[in-house]
């Protein structure tokens, strides 16, 4: 997925993620190998059974989110989110390659999530439900903050969380330099999600 993202940027000199089309970022990446099978995590159920009359249905730790394009009968399921702060970090049709992240090996492009797009800030609070990704914020870190991986199954992700304590579970994060790693939820704030990210210490909510 990151390779496709970077190849698109190389060919068109700007990102596939642009304001207004964050929910449909997978469409321009299709010619680069982003197929429905690539977009599904083996640790979670394959699809979210949703009528095509519903424009969007959020996922959970063990189920994909769904979005309907509104064109014909085209719908899409995936388990991953794109880091929309890359739009602000890199978006420039005239100067794309001069805006590569300063920390490419620590800048997330994609991660496990319950919705298509989100952009954390250092003050983003964690989810209080690591199964649904729900918390006091609708965006920020909460959509990423699901216990899809770790010592227990995604279906057993904690529903009630004391965010003042270390968060349990792990999530997969795909970084701008092309590598993928399994991250503890507690460590999500240690990535450089934005160009001016300052790692909070302690993390919000502790």
pLDDT of residue 203: 94
Integer angstrom CA distances of residue 53 from 49, 50, 68, 69: 12, 8, 8, 10
C-alpha 119, offset from chain centre? 8
For 92-169, list the strands marked E by DSSP: 108-112, 117-118
pLDDT in tens, 115-171: 877 888 899 999 999 999 988 776 789 989 999 999 889 999 999 999 999 999 999
Percent of the chain with pLDDT over 70: 80
Domain residue ranges in the chain = 2-80, 85-190
Q: Please report which helix (H) or strand (E) contains residue 148, including its range.
A: none
pTM, two decimal places:
0.86
Report the alpha-carbon angle 54-59-64, nearest 5: 95
- What residue ranges of the chain have pLDDT lower than 50? 71-72, 97-98
């Amino acid at each position: 997925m990151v390779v496709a993202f970077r190849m698109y940027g190389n060919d068109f000199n700007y990102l596939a993620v642009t304001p207004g089309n964050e929910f449909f970022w997978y469409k321009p990446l299709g010619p680069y190998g982003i197929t429905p099978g690539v977009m599904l995590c083996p640790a979670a159920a394959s699809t979210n059974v949703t009528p095509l009359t519903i424009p969007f249905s959020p996922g959970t730790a063990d189920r994909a989110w769904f979005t309907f394009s509104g064109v014909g009968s085209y719908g899409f399921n995936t388990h991953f989110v794109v880091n929309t702060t890359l739009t602000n970090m890199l978006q420039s049709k005239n100067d794309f390659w001069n805006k590569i992240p300063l920390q490419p090996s620590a800048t997330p492009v994609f991660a496990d999530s319950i919705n298509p797009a989100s952009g954390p800030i250092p003050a983003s609070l964690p989810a209080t439900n690591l199964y649904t990704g729900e918390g006091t914020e609708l965006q920020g870190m909460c959509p990423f903050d699901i216990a899809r991986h770790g010592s227990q199954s995604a279906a057993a992700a904690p529903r009630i969380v004391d965010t003042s304590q270390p968060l349990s579970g792990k999530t997969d994060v795909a970084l701008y330099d092309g590598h993928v790693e399994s991250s503890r939820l507690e460590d999500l704030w240690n990535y450089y999600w934005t160009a001016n990210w300052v790692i909070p210490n302690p993390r919000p909510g502790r």
